Amino acid sequence: MTALDRPAVRTGSRARRTAPPARGGAGWASWRAVALVVGALVMLFPLYWMVVTAFSDQGALTSGPLRFFPENPTLDGFRRAFTLLPFGQFFLNSTAIALVAMALSVTLNLLAGYVLAKYRFRGQQVVFIMIVSTLMIPVQVVMVPQFQLVAGLGWINSYWAVIIPRAAEAFGIFLCRQFMLGIPDEVLEAARLDGAGHLRIFWSVVLPMSRPLIAVLVILTFMYRWNEFAWPLIVLNDQQLFTVPIGLSFLQGEYGTDYPALMGMALLSTLPVLVVFALFQRQFVEGVARSGLR
């Protein structure tokens, strides 16, 4: 071969590759940061206005120009709310219902999702499709049959009337199945070879690997149960059993609304949900990403 026929020899162990320039450069990053800040301010403004209204005077809200800061902050709205209605009892009722319903719903959804993801039986796909198809049925359509069922069991005006009818949710079962499909079958088979039974595998192998999923279920279920209004209003008649959302509706009068009292109780009602989210936020993001909801 002549020198002209020889391939060119590259100097160095590897040819250097230049990285492509970032999309849009610094200008694009700046505009994206501005858009995120504006979006965050828009979403936080209702919460800020709730705080301003809760600490304002009723007369200052209904007369005069619009104020973005309370001139004379006061707690009179909170005092009037606790004087007019037993909100302390309402908070206890909502907490008991939300915690019990959350524990029951998370347990049932995990068990159902595990069976649909890791067991093979005739009609498995049909059962799963039927469960998921119930998500297309509006909640209002099934309220009358649910009320008749609860009334037949004698649960009207009790906590069980609020907790039991929706103990298992189709969305929760779907979420659990999608997450547990990602658990390797080899891990479960190794546990079976070691002599572990079904419940032992579920408790010692599946649940520790499903902590992000459990965090998602806890947050979503607690938030849904805490804010539920229509169904508790239908099945509860005794004021001592009312929940916080029902109590908030009574602060809206026919001839006027006590806005400081209403916003003060609404502000307090958001605290339990924020606490639950703060405790599980790290696992929440991972669980949503790994459950097929990207």
pLDDT tens, position by position, 74-131: 898 899 999 989 999 999 999 999 999 999 999 999 999 999 999 888 988 999 999 9
CA–CA distance, 152 with 165 (Å, rounded to integer): 13
In 186-241, at which residue ranges do the beta strands (DSSP E only) sit? none
Q: What confidence tens digit (pLDDT) does each residue in 126-152 have?
A: 999 999 999 998 888 899 999 999 999
Predicted local distance difference test score (pLDDT) of residue 70: 78
What is the domain partition of the chain in residue ranges? 29-74, 80-290
Helix axes 259-290 and 76-84, enclosed angle (nearest 10): 90
Average pLDDT of span 164-193: 91
CA angle, 47 then 48 then 52, to 5°: 120
Q: What is the pLDDT of the chain when averaged over all its residues? A: 85
The pLDDT of residue 186: 92
Element (H, E) at 156: none
* Torsion over CA: 83, 84, 85, 87 (sign): negative
Query: Token pair for residue 250?
Result: 């009574």
Dist CA 181 CA 230 (whole Å): 35
Average pLDDT over residues 211-234: 92
Question: Could you give the CA distance from residue 144 to residue 182 in angstroms, rounded to a whole number?
Answer: 38
pLDDT of residue 68: 78
Q: How many residues make up the chain in this entry? A: 294
80-290 fold: MetI-like fold (1.10.3720)
**pLDDT class of 288 with cuts at 50, 70, 90:** low
Q: Is the dihedral of CA 134, 136, 139, 141 positive or negative?
A: negative
Chain centroid, CA 164 distance in Å: 19
pLDDT value at position 1?
A: 47
Model pLDDT, residue 42: 93
pLDDT at 140 (0 to 100): 86
**Which is nearest to 249 in space by CA: 236, 230, 222?**
230
Residue 264 has pLDDT above 80, yes or no: yes
CB atoms within 10 A of CB 268: 15
Mean pLDDT of 10-29: 55
Q: How far is CA 62 from CA 23, 55, 67, 82, 128, in A?
A: 51, 14, 11, 22, 54
User: Using CB atoms within 10 A of its CB, is residue 42 exposed (0-12), middle (13-18) or buried (19+)?
Assistant: exposed
pLDDT of residue 63: 72
CA-CA-CA-CA torsion sign (118, 218, 212, 170): positive
Two structure tokens written together for 178:
């999608």
Measured in degrees and rounded to the nearest 5, phi and psi for residue 257 equal: -125, 130
What are the strands, taking DSSP E only, across the chain? none
pTM: 0.81
- Selected residue with higher pLDDT from 55 and 67: 55
Q: What pLDDT sits at residue 147?
A: 94
Give the whole-angstrom CA distance, residue 219 versus residue 15. 51
Residues 6+ apart with CB under 8 A from 235: 147, 150, 155, 156, 157, 161, 162
